[in-house]
Amino acid sequence: MRNRKLGFDYSSDHFEGCPVETTLDVIGGKWKGVLLYHLIDGKKRFNEFRRLYPKITQRMLTLQLRELERDGVIHREVYKQVPPKVEYSLTEFGKTLEPIILHMKEWGEKYKDRMVNIETTLKAED
């Protein structure tokens, strides 16, 4: 994912494999799923993401947004003004991912508690 490179390691034979890999290369980045999820209900500015997800550093936010942009999944709109303003939004292509993201969200909601319990148990073993 983890795991998982930051992204974009499409070495030639990387794609021999199953298509699941293609999809995970796009949405599997450490924060990409989350970013895409928040874009489903509309544009977001850089610092909006930081407020929504304080854990992600400025650097990683930039890197992950850039990769999503390169993959054509999101659009970056820069307003020429002072202070600067940048808005991120899903492209039409990016919107094809919405069903998957929402599906992952539902699964996460259902089984979040279970996963937390597993983690708690494992920590107790230390």
Query: Which residues are at the interface with its own copies (CB under 8 A)?
Result: 1-10, 13-15, 17-30, 32-34, 36-38, 53, 55, 70-72, 93, 96-97, 99-101, 103-112, 114-116, 118-119, 122
Q: How many whole angstroms from its chain centre is CA 86? A: 18
Write down the residue that tokens 């808005």 correspond to.
87
Residue of 22, 57, 96, 117 that binds DNA (CB under 7 A): 57
Q: How many CB atoms lie within 10 A of CB 83?
A: 5
Assess 85 for contact with DNA (CB under 7 A). yes
CA distance 56 to 39: 16
Q: Is 9 in the site for DNA (CB under 7 A)?
A: yes
80 or 110: CB nearest its own copies? 110
Buried/exposed 44-61: b ≥16 CB within 10 Å, e otherwise: bebeebeeeeeebeeeeb
- Which residues of this protein are in contact with DNA, per CB under 7 A? 1-7, 9, 29-30, 45-48, 55-60, 62, 65-66, 76, 83-87
